Structure 1
């Protein structure tokens, strides 16, 4: 990131968040395709997808941390820096929940007689919904605070 003006930094933040949303969509689509290869799963193809998704998330997180530091040190916006820190924490939780859900979905597909899997899947889905609500709240706070003059 080279820009030194505040609006460009904020715009880059939003761009990175939309990249993250798109990366999740690709991850979900890839997992759906992987499940369709069962019962003899194409694990190599899925492993490559997971690697690419991990790289994408890592790059996004790295740049978001740079933005967080710039907002704090260059623009003296501790409030926005704090929102990004909260966002990163919730995004990490979302990724963990997503991975957990994917493993459970495969287990449920492989063992349809295991009723406990469906209960666990519903629990994870509920936690993901709560996580998305928290992410949305953080994004709203960020938007509100970044549009204030300061």
Structure 2
């Protein structure tokens, strides 16, 4: 198999893993909505199980993407793509942290209904949107790099 084919295979796998990550985020979001709907007597045990399962899935996906990055670093021709993947992973870490922060802020808003909490939710939402734009930019950058192959 040529190096070019190996790079294409790695990028194809990366996009597949990214789709899995998007789906996992959707599961987490839906689970959190259900969790919030159980207020004020939250079903924390069920939500904790979901978070545990989702965390394991995020780790599996992240480990697989890191392995792709390492594989691409073995060849100087694909180092630029590996760099973009590294930046993608950094933004994905930030997205996960902001998602957790958002979930806590939403729960606090449900509990106290204060304008300040709603403003915090909106501020985090804005940060998340920016990170998602960056992630989409990285994915676009990878496509652009692949055009040179």
Question: In which range does the TM-score fall when normalised by the shorter chain?
Answer: over 0.9
Cα distance in 2 for partners of 1:107, 1:83 equals: 36
1:79-128 residue CA offsets vs partner (Å, 9 max, x unmatched): 0000010000000000010100000101000101x221011111001101
- Kindly state the Cα deviation for residue 7 of structure 1 after the two structures are TM-superposed: 2.0
What is the root-mean-square deviation in Å for CA atoms of aligned residues? 1.2
Question: What residue in structure 2 maps to residue 13 of structure 1?
Answer: 14
- Kindly state the Cα deviation for residue 8 of structure 1 after the two structures are TM-superposed: 1.7
- Kindly state the Cα deviation for residue 74 of structure 1 after the two structures are TM-superposed: 4.5
Question: What residue in structure 1 maps to residue 120 of structure 2?
Answer: 120
Name stretches of at least 5 consecutive residues in structure 1 with no aligned partner: none
1:19-75 residue CA offsets vs partner (Å, 9 max, x unmatched): 000000000000001011111000000000000010000000000000000011046
Question: What residue in structure 2 maps to residue 48 of structure 1?
Answer: 49
Cα distance in 1 for partners of 2:16, 2:90 equals: 19
| 2:7–2:78 CA contact under 8 A, matched in 1 | no
Name stretches of at least 5 consecutive residues in structure 2 with no aligned partner: none
Cα distance in 2 for partners of 1:86, 1:126 equals: 20
Cα distance in 1 for partners of 2:96, 2:77 equals: 30
Question: What residue in structure 2 maps to residue 90 of structure 1?
Answer: 91
| 1:23–1:57 CA contact under 8 A, matched in 2 | yes
| 1:16–1:64 CA contact under 8 A, matched in 2 | yes
Cα distance in 2 for partners of 1:75, 1:54 equals: 33
- Segments of 4+ in structure 1 off by > 4 A? none
SS in 1 for 2:41: coil
Number of aligned pairs?
Answer: 145
Cα distance in 2 for partners of 1:12, 1:38 equals: 40
